[in-house]
Amino acid sequence: MVPPPAPALALVRAVRAHGDRPAAPGPGAPSWRAVADDARHLGLGLRDAGLAPGRRAVVEGTGLAPHQVLERELAVLSTGAVLALDPGDEVSPVAVVGADELRVEGAAGPVTCDVDRLRRRGRAVDAEAPDRYEALLAALDPADPSVALPGRQATGAEVTWALRAVDRWLAPAFDGEGPGPVLVVDDGPGRGAAAVLGRWWPARAGAPLVDPGTDPAEAARRAGATVVVAGPGHWRAVAAGLRDAGARSRATAALLRRGRVVAAGEPAGPVERAGLAATRRWVGAGLRDVAGVAGLRAGVAWDGLDPVDARDLAAALVPVVPTWCVAGALAPVASAPVARPEPASGWGRPLPGRDVVADGSRTTIRGGDLPGGRLTLVARTAVDGRGRVRLPRPPRGPGGGAA
């Protein structure tokens, strides 16, 4: 069996293949080829400045658009350094790559270097040795540590496994097409999963990365986001907007009332279902446009949805899938189906390649993004006879479910 490539090599190949596709929505956005060029030159500059394999580095995203964060992450990974996605107390010095400078913490204090100067240095190295970058990528071993998470380091092979699992999980939502603009509202259970799902997988697919700014809902509406990854608090706000619209319109109120019956799994006769189909055709698109999710193909809710919110989102045909995530895993453990979302059911299935086994008070999760391929939790998880997993329910109140 051919081993999976290191994530830097896989991402560089994919990003280059997307060529002139925009890396961000809106006029003036750079192409993915330009992002790949910047990552190449910055990576060569970082290596020339002493960022060696095994050294830990952090990308500080303040003041950066998502594609700029990805460019710096790709540059760090290209050097063979370990990218600290959830940085904590480190024994060794940490290199911090920010918007304008590289800062290296040393015994004599921090040493800084301008990021643009590093890129220029990288261009000079590239001109002198045009195959230097390819040699760096070819030297990467998928078995070596690639990213640092709380309490452990994940290998390149584990990162690549997570990317493939996410792709196979979300692909049914797009009917064979790639995703359009992707927006991540918050990091949810950790920056590792947010990086894989919100930046690296979209870059691999050539999708534009949306900057959430100060108003993520408006950013999603403006960009026509097809994928939105957010915590239950964001989806609570979307559901509240649907309910507000229902209070102002009889047709919208009828849509939500009839849709709630179906979403809750209650019996509904042919007349009720026909009425629901008619109101969805009449006002459904406008309702989703008001809520800022007109282009949504796959909404992802970190760690579950409140049942009330899930029911109203399903009633309006807003395709949001609740997930179950655990610390240390680079991809969700389980999710509701994305092809025909059933967020109100409360049940999901393990991601492709995963397995979840409940044995008394212990739950074992298997997957290629976990240390040794498995993780055992001292917690009881419901798994039914069909292999479905009971998804978590977020707390009620601010940041959680409906108040």
Q: Which of 178, 34, 219 minimizes the C-alpha distance to 119?
A: 34
Q: In 249-383, which residue ranges form alpha helices assigned H by DSSP?
A: 250-263, 270-279, 285-290, 307-315
Q: Which pLDDT score, from 0 to 100, does residue 401 have?
A: 43
Rounded Cα distance between 82 and 354, Å, is 25
Query: pLDDT over 90 for what percent of the chain?
Result: 49
Rounded Cα distance between 31 and 20, Å, is 5
Q: Which pLDDT score, from 0 to 100, does residue 331 have?
A: 93
- Residue 96 φ/ψ, nearest 5 degrees: -115, 120
Residue that is last in its domain, among 124, 149, 174? 149
Q: Which pLDDT score, from 0 to 100, does residue 11 have?
A: 93
Q: Which pLDDT score, from 0 to 100, does residue 167 have?
A: 94
Q: Which pLDDT score, from 0 to 100, does residue 323 have?
A: 92
Q: Which pLDDT score, from 0 to 100, does residue 240 have?
A: 85
**What pLDDT band is residue 4 in, cutting at 50, 70 and 90?**
confident
Indicate whether 121 and 186 sit together in one domain. no
| Residue 233 lies in domain | 163-345
Whole-angstrom CA distances from 59 to 45, 74, 82, 101, 284 are 15, 10, 11, 11, 41
The arrangement of strands across the sheet holding 355-359 comes to: 355-359, 362-366, 374-377
Indicate whether 110 and 193 sit together in one domain. no
Whole-angstrom CA distances from 249 to 1, 61, 342, 348 are 59, 42, 26, 33
324 within 8 A of 392, measured Cβ to Cβ:
yes
Q: What tokens were used for 94?
A: 């940490």
Indicate whether 111 and 251 sit together in one domain. no
pLDDT > 90? residue 187: no
Count how many Cα atoms sit within 13 Å of the Cα of residue 279 in the half-sphere of its side chain. 22
- Residue 212 φ/ψ, nearest 5 degrees: -65, -25
Strands 209-210 and 182-184: parallel
In a domain, 2, yes or no: no
Whole-angstrom CA distances from 130 to 41, 52, 134 are 11, 20, 8
Residue matched to tokens 């993520």: 216
Please state the pTM of the whole predicted model: 0.88
Q: Once rounded to an integer, what is the mean pLDDT over residues 17-27?
A: 92
Residue that is last in its domain, among 306, 330, 345? 345
Rounded Cα distance between 262 and 395, Å, is 25
Give the total residue count for the chain: 403
Mean pLDDT of the chain, nearest integer:
84
Number of domains in the chain: 2
**What's 104's domain CATH number?**
3.40.50
In a domain, 140, yes or no: yes
Indicate whether 189 and 332 sit together in one domain. yes
Indicate whether 204 and 288 sit together in one domain. yes
In a domain, 124, yes or no: yes
Residue that is last in its domain, among 307, 327, 345? 345
Rounded Cα distance between 349 and 355, Å, is 9
Indicate whether 128 and 208 sit together in one domain. no
* H or E element that contains 359: strand 355-359
Rounded Cα distance between 75 and 81, Å, is 9
In a domain, 392, yes or no: no
Question: What DSSP state is assigned to residue 108?
Answer: T
The total of other beta-carbon atoms located within 10 Å of residue 107's CB is 5
* pLDDT tens digits, one per residue of 310-369: 888 887 778 889 999 988 889 999 998 887 766 667 889 999 999 999 888 899 999 999
In a domain, 276, yes or no: yes
7 within 8 A of 157, measured Cβ to Cβ:
no
* pLDDT tens digits, one per residue of 34-76: 999 999 999 999 999 888 898 999 999 889 999 999 999 999 9
* pLDDT tens digits, one per residue of 368-397: 999 999 999 888 888 888 888 998 887 665
Indicate whether 170 and 139 sit together in one domain. no
Q: What tokens were used for 402?
A: 């409906």
Indicate whether 340 and 199 sit together in one domain. yes
Q: Which pLDDT score, from 0 to 100, does residue 270 have?
A: 66
Indicate whether 39 and 66 sit together in one domain. yes
Q: Which of 227, 232, 218 minimizes the C-alpha distance to 184?
A: 227
pLDDT > 50? residue 399: no
Q: Which of 344, 339, 296 minimizes the C-alpha distance to 322?
A: 344
Q: Once rounded to an integer, what is the mean pLDDT over residues 194-221?
A: 93
In a domain, 308, yes or no: yes
Whole-angstrom CA distances from 120 to 45, 52, 117, 143, 380 are 7, 19, 5, 31, 54
Q: Which pLDDT score, from 0 to 100, does residue 139 have?
A: 94
Indicate whether 72 and 188 sit together in one domain. no
Identify which has the larger pLDDT, 72 or 91.
72
pLDDT > 50? residue 30: yes
In a domain, 106, yes or no: yes
Q: Which pLDDT score, from 0 to 100, does residue 154 have?
A: 93
* pLDDT tens digits, one per residue of 163-172: 999 999 999 9
In a domain, 190, yes or no: yes
Indicate whether 35 and 59 sit together in one domain. yes
The total of other beta-carbon atoms located within 10 Å of residue 114's CB is 12
pLDDT > 70? residue 301: yes
pLDDT > 60? residue 122: yes
Indicate whether 23 and 117 sit together in one domain. yes
